[in-house]
Amino acid sequence: MADVRPLPGAADGVLHSLFTSDQGGHEQVVLCQDRETGLKAVIALHSTALGPALGGTRFYPYASEEEAVQDALNLSRGMSYKNAMAGLEHGGGKAVIIGDPEQIKTEQLLLAYGRFVASLGGRYVTACDVGTYVQDMDVVARTNRWTTGRSPENGGCGDSSVLTAFGVFQSMRAAAQTQWGEPTLRGRRVGIAGVGKVGHHLVEHLITDGAEVVVTDVRADAVARITARHPQVTAVADADALVRTPLDVYAPCALGGALDDATVAALTATVVCGAANNQLAHPGVEKDLADRGILYAPDYVVNAGGVIQVADELHGFDFDRAKAKATMIFDTTLAIFDRAQADGIPPAAAADRLAEQRMAEARASVPRQAEHR
């Protein structure tokens, strides 16, 4: 294994995010490199106030190293809020591996990555994310015992997208109750952007509930799989076409930044509730949604089912126990909408306040160590 070293000072924009901006406050960021395997990775720990940081490993061909670090910072911060709102005894962390997984992912690279995670001594617990899968976590676990999302054959919980989608559906039901008075999507038209890991499970929940479903995905085979199984599902060319389609609910379930100024202006849906992380392209989008009368379910609350599933693995995985906890996402989402209405703020701001309150209470409850003299 090569070195694990602090973030250098060359990337001023990243350092500003880390040390200066309101989006910073991370406890630790490490850069990991193993030249023999081609591994380049970033592990970001935003907070361990509630316990060891828990978050997935994203394997993605970033345009630059700085972009990769920035993504790790954003994603790890989101995990702190997600884990707090999910009621878990975990802080927030995230790792990114730089490169195209279809080109450079090897067993030896994953083993090297596992050694870097192990070097943190349990401060970070990893799992699957975009570009990594259950079989990858089985490999990572061979050099790092702080690994979740493994296969059932290896003592794990399996595919965490199962409860991620279930949690999205629970949040969507809560949004329907708030917006239309009933916790069901029956008779509503729901547009899903991204029908991969999570999105295809979400389609199943919605069809069962009686919703009309419209989908799109950058991968034609993903769309074909859905329409072959459910001929009643409609497909459109891309996300731009989807947001302009008459919808009741828009569900971004691909990569982040889905809600930018142009998208918000074009949306026909009056509810936004999807699985993607970091959906708001920039601060202020949440207010624009509220000003248009669009009810936004905060993404890190909506998609918490997966982290609930992998966290349960650390205690000897029990699917029914994890599903029961994920069912509570319905109540959490309703509480956020109620808090938003009471405080006169967008739901995203209400969720942040509740999460920050829990983290602050956790920090305050830890006795301060006596100062060294």
Annotated active-site residue 94? The verdict is yes
Helix (H) or strand (E) holding 7: none
Give me 161's structure tokens.
């997208």
Cα–Cα distance for residue pair 314/201, rounded to 1 Å: 24
Residue of 40, 82, 94, 197 marked catalytic: 94
Q: Provide the b/e sequence for 91-130 (b: ≥16 CB within 10 Å).
A: bbbbbbbbbebeebbeeebbbbbbbbbbbbeebbbbbbbb
DSSP secondary structure string, 149-184?
S--GGGTS---THHHHHHHHHHHHHHHHHHHHSSS-
Cα–Cα distance for residue pair 143/80, rounded to 1 Å: 25
Q: Are 251 and 211 in contact (CB under 8 A)?
A: no
State which amino acid sits at residue 110: L
State which amino acid sits at residue 191: G
* 3-class DSSP state of 44: strand
Q: Are 307 and 91 in contact (CB under 8 A)?
A: no
Report the candidate in 131, 149, 118, 150 with the shortest Cα–Cα distance to residue 30: 118
Q: Could you list the active site residues?
A: 94
